[in-house]
Amino acid sequence: MQGFNGLSVFCVLLLMALGLAIIFGQMGVINMAHGEFLTIGAYITYLLSHLTTTYAPALQPFYFFVAIVLSFAVAYGVGYLTELLLISRLYKRPLDTLLATWGLSLAMQQTFRSIFGAKEVSATLPDWLMGSFKPTDDIDIPLNGLFMMGLTVLLTGAIFVLLFRSRWGLQVRATMQNRVMSGAVGINTRKVDRTTFALGCGVAGVAGAAFTTIGSTGPTSGSLYIVDTFLVVVFGGAQSLIGTIASAFSIAQTQSTAEFFLTGSMAKVLTLSAVILILMLRPQGLFSVKVRK
């Protein structure tokens, strides 16, 4: 069961890290507000849960699918506006993006407090997400965990196809490697920038919808994951999708197993120390992307 708890943490970390790998790995933007886009998705899911439970209880079993789509759409839209109004002026200035998005994260947290209050809230899950699956008499596997795993696999596959098997993905990779040459061959680099940043934010919104199945939502819920998410991306290799998956699994399982024997704080210290030690030996991360020069 402890290993399965690690898989639940792995799913949230991976969904967060997928979006950050697109923004940080592909664009070089340090988005400290990435966790707040998770919070957007979580609050959207809570709102839909409250509305369907109060006004349309017959639709309550189906609202979660709508919440996933709407979480992506709202986070995508906010991300698009963020890139247009803020990030577009800070490219090739990573420290400035760090400070600007950190300020944005504080502003978003205060907005959440003003709208939803400081107390944490919880979405009412559909009945089909409650309970557990019993493959044997001694093993109970939560259904919400199985759903999260399925959603994570589906979204990871979709992002892989989008980035590495589509014309848009080719434009993204070309723009990030050589912006001037990409513009010369007719690629609208400004549009690529906006849609890439917005996509990463939208994926974080989906992570927020998934997060509501394992925890309550508050104004700072997303910020609790931001350090671990950056750790996953850097440890796995900033531009490697396979590295991000392997890193998220390693960190989640290590932390979950350590928490079984130690306190939560000591488990985090142990995990962070192990990651730092490995990065000292392999600074480029678990997987490095070779670029032809």
pLDDT of amino acid 195:
93
Residue 291 confidence (pLDDT) above 70: no
pLDDT tens-place string over residues 109-130: 999 999 999 999 999 989 888 8
Percentage of residues of the chain with pLDDT beyond 70: 88
- The better pLDDT of the pair 265, 163 is held by 163
Q: Please check whether residue 21 lies inside any domain of the structure.
A: yes
- The better pLDDT of the pair 268, 74 is held by 74
Q: Please check whether residue 71 lies inside any domain of the structure.
A: yes
What's the average model confidence in pLDDT over 20-29?
79
Q: Which residues contact 277 (CB under 8 A, 6 or more apart)?
A: none
For residue 132, the cross-strand partners are 142
Residue range of the domain that includes 84 = 1-226
What's the average model confidence in pLDDT over 162-180?
86
Mean pLDDT rounded to a whole number for the chain:
84
Residue 273 confidence (pLDDT) above 80: no
Q: Please check whether residue 281 lies inside any domain of the structure.
A: no
Residue 98 confidence (pLDDT) above 70: yes
What's the average model confidence in pLDDT over 81-94?
88
Task: Give the residue carrying structure tokens 């992570």.
Answer: 207
Percentage of residues of the chain with pLDDT beyond 90: 36
pLDDT of amino acid 292:
46
d(CA 134, CA 11): 21
Two tokens, residue 154: 């589906």
Q: Please check whether residue 133 lies inside any domain of the structure.
A: yes
Residue 192 confidence (pLDDT) above 60: yes
Q: What is the pTM (predicted TM-score) of this model?
A: 0.88
Q: Please check whether residue 278 lies inside any domain of the structure.
A: no
Quick one: pLDDT band at residue 178, thresholds 50, 70, 90?
Answer: confident
pLDDT of amino acid 173:
83
d(CA 11, CA 69): 18
What's the average model confidence in pLDDT over 12-29?
82
Residue 92 confidence (pLDDT) above 50: yes
pLDDT of amino acid 106:
94
Q: Please check whether residue 290 lies inside any domain of the structure.
A: no
Q: Please check whether residue 265 lies inside any domain of the structure.
A: no
- Do 237 and 288 meet the contact criterion of CB atoms below 8 Å apart? yes
Amino acid residing at 201: C
Q: Please check whether residue 169 lies inside any domain of the structure.
A: yes
Quick one: pLDDT band at residue 176, thresholds 50, 70, 90?
Answer: confident
Residue 2 confidence (pLDDT) above 50: no
What's the average model confidence in pLDDT over 7-22?
83
- The better pLDDT of the pair 145, 239 is held by 145
pLDDT of amino acid 197:
93
Quick one: pLDDT band at residue 9, thresholds 50, 70, 90?
Answer: confident
The total of structural domains in the chain comes to 1
pLDDT of amino acid 285:
67
d(CA 265, CA 172): 39
pLDDT tens-place string over residues 209-230: 999 988 899 999 988 888 788 8
Quick one: pLDDT band at residue 95, thresholds 50, 70, 90?
Answer: confident
- Do 71 and 205 meet the contact criterion of CB atoms below 8 Å apart? yes
